[in-house]
């Protein structure tokens, strides 16, 4: 009972603090502090609720238990991280995005192909591609190569569609200007059309970050060596070691956010001229 009251008190205190902070003029510090306070409040309330209701640890472990498990099994988590994120997701991401980019630039020269490929690409991008996972695991074996293949297929179409759209983002006036400068196809591509396509390309890259992690992890449910985040999650669920599952989720969350954040930072430095990036 005490824990529940404490949780309620923390929730009210955190929310009041945020209301106060949000009503003050917006600064960079406050824009950062408010969500952080909200997150910390949520975790504290979670801890209190788990303790207050004495929820069994096989249902929902408390944040403190997860943190202890996280610190206690760093070696396992690191091995899984290397196997799934660095080998599976990152390799597939680079290959998939690279191939999609090159193909997009190639078909950009043929309007006929473009008109045919965009609807098909849009269609495929909406499909449950993750279903390809069992087939690719069958083709490429259980190790990280098959995970990378799943990731390639998953990131390919969003990236392709975005790049093709981005390459069309210049208007006739700008292209005419390049022509008056006597710029050829390649120079126009490098100096005008690729930079103009960057916001779209980064959109595709950012969508790809989450898809890559999801693809790599889910593909491990269909067969994997005895390491990897997807393998650990599915076996630990079977052993009811939910604190280890949550520790893996924390790793996945950190990896996903860092991956996305890295892309967002790169976007900011490349497309600093775009209205959405101006301050």
Partner 1 sequence: MRQSILPVLTVVGFLLVLWYAAAIWLNAAWAYDKASRTDEVLTTRTLIADTWSQEKPKLPAPHQVATEIWQTTVEKKITSKRSLIYHSWVTLSATLLGFGLGTVLGTLLAVGIVFNRTMDMSVMPWVIASQTIPILAIAPMIIVVLNAIGISGLLPKAMISMYLSFFPVVVGMVKGLRSPDQMQLDQMRTWHASGSQTFWKLRLPASMPYFFTSLKIAMAASLVGAIVGELPTGAIAGLGARLLAGSYYGQTIQIWSALIMAAVLAATLVGIIGAIQKLTLRRMGMAQ
Residues contributing to the site for partner 1 (CB under 8 A): 15, 18-19, 21-23, 30-31, 34-35, 37-39, 58-60, 112-117, 119-120, 123, 126-128, 130-135, 137-139, 209-210, 213-214, 217-218, 221-223, 229-230, 233-234, 237, 242, 245, 248-249, 252-253, 256-257, 259-260
Nearer to partner 1, 77 or 117 (CB): 117
Q: How far is the CB of 38 from partner 1 (least distance, A)?
A: 4
Q: How far is the CB of 186 from partner 1 (least distance, A)?
A: 25
In the DSSP assignment, the letter for residue 143 is: S
In the three-class reduction of DSSP (H, G, I as helix; E, B as strand; rest coil), residue 253 is classed as helix
Q: How far is the CB of 3 from partner 1 (least distance, A)?
A: 20
Spatial distance between the Cα atoms of 244 and 96, rounded to a whole number of angstroms? 31
Nearer to partner 1, 165 or 188 (CB): 165
- Terminal-residue alpha carbon distance, the chain: 48
Q: How far is the CB of 121 from partner 1 (least distance, A)?
A: 9
Nearer to partner 1, 50 or 214 (CB): 214
Q: How far is the CB of 97 from partner 1 (least distance, A)?
A: 17
Nearer to partner 1, 30 or 187 (CB): 30
Nearer to partner 1, 159 or 242 (CB): 242
Nearer to partner 1, 108 or 188 (CB): 108
Nearer to partner 1, 155 or 233 (CB): 233
Instruction: Mention every residue, 6+ apart, whose C-beta is less than 8 A from residue 1.
Output: 52
Q: How far is the CB of 266 from partner 1 (least distance, A)?
A: 15
User: Which tokens go with 236?
Assistant: 């630990």
User: Which tokens go with 149?
Assistant: 């293949």
In the three-class reduction of DSSP (H, G, I as helix; E, B as strand; rest coil), residue 92 is classed as helix
Nearer to partner 1, 65 or 113 (CB): 113
Spatial distance between the Cα atoms of 231 and 1, rounded to a whole number of angstroms? 38
Q: How far is the CB of 89 from partner 1 (least distance, A)?
A: 9
DSSP labels, 17-83: HHHHHHHSPP-HHHHHHHHHHHHHHHHHHHHHHHHHTT--TTT---HHHHHHHHHHTHHHHHHHHII
Q: How far is the CB of 271 from partner 1 (least distance, A)?
A: 19
Instruction: Mention every residue, 6+ apart, whose C-beta is less than 8 A from residue 63.
Output: 43, 46, 47
Structural contact between residues 38 and 18, judged by C-beta atoms closer than 8 angstroms: yes
The helix, strand and coil proportions of the chain, stated in percent and rounded to the nearest 5, come to 80, 0, 20
């Amino acid at each position: 009972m005490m824990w529940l009251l404490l949780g309620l008190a923390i929730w009210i205190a955190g929310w009041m603090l945020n209301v106060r902070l949000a009503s003050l003029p917006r600064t960079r510090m406050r824009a950062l502090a408010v969500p952080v306070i909200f997150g910390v409040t949520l975790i504290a309330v979670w801890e209190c609720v788990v303790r207050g209701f004495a929820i069994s640890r096989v249902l929902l472990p408390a944040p403190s238990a997860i943190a202890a498990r996280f610190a206690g099994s760093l070696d396992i988590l690191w091995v899984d991280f290397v196997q799934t994120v660095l080998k599976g997701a990152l390799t597939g991401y680079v290959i998939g995005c690279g191939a999609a980019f090159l193909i997009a630039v190639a078909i950009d020269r043929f309007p006929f192909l473009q008109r045919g490929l965009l609807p098909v690409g849009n269609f495929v991008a909406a499909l449950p591609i993750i279903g390809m996972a069992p087939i690719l695991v069958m083709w490429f074996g259980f190790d990280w190569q098959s995970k990378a293949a799943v990731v390639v297929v998953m990131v390919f179409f969003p990236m392709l569609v975005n790049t093709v759209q981005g390459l069309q983002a210049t208007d006739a006036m700008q292209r005419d200007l390049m022509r008056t400068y006597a710029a050829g196809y390649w120079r126009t591509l490098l100096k005008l059309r690729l930079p103009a396509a960057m916001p779209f390309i980064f959109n595709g890259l950012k969508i790809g970050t989450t898809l890559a992690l999801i693809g790599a992890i889910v593909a491990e449910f269909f067969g994997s060596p005895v390491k990897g985040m997807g393998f650990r999650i599915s076996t630990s669920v079977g052993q009811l070691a939910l604190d280890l599952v949550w520790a893996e989720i924390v790793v996945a969350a950190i990896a996903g956010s860092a991956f996305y954040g890295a892309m967002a930072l790169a976007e900011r430095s490349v497309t600093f001229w775009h209205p959405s990036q101006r301050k």
